[in-house]
A = this chain, B = another copy of it.
Amino acid sequence: MTDLKSGPNPLFLRHDQLHQGIELLFYAYRDFTAECDAILATYGFGRAHHRVIYFVARSPSISVAELLAILRITKQSLSRVLSQLVSEGFVSVQKAQEDRRRRLLQLTDKGSVLERRLSEVQRARIGAAYRAAGGDAVEGYRKVLLGIIDENDRRRFEE
């Protein structure tokens, strides 16, 4: 039962194959975040600040509710990091014209500088991994991670 032959595309996945995939995700996430954590610490920020900065950069004028849906945290949790970022001049807020209840978030120039610094580090790491692995591997990486993500959030990656 344990020594089934594993072809190139096995229908039956052995536990140790799956555990390898689990561990790769753990180690990769650990190392992917570590460099930025060190940079953020020099600003008195943490990983939570990075996530806000990152997603505001990707979607300028994102609303608070949209950001909460991405991060899957409570508004009280977001509030602490967001109000820090706003009061220290990394993020600016303006009311939406159509619906003046909504607050739209942008990076300030200062915020953009930090975002670029952080993103350059992460692009360098993932870029090196992409180049070393090759284009087909990148496609596989995308397919598998997309399959891990909750179904409702996969549409974020349709182009």
Contacts and interface: CB of A to CB of B under 8 A. Distances in A.
A10 B135 CA distance: 7
A117 interface: no
Given A9-B135, A18-B130, A140-B137, A29 B27 contact: no
Contact of A140 (B9, B128, B141, B148): B141
A40 to B, nearest CB: 15
Interface in A131-151: 131-150
Contact of A21 (B29, B30, B31, B130): B130
B139 A18 contact: no
- Sort A-B residue pairs by CB-CB distance and give the 4 closest, nearest first: A140-B140, A129-B147, A9-B135, A137-B140
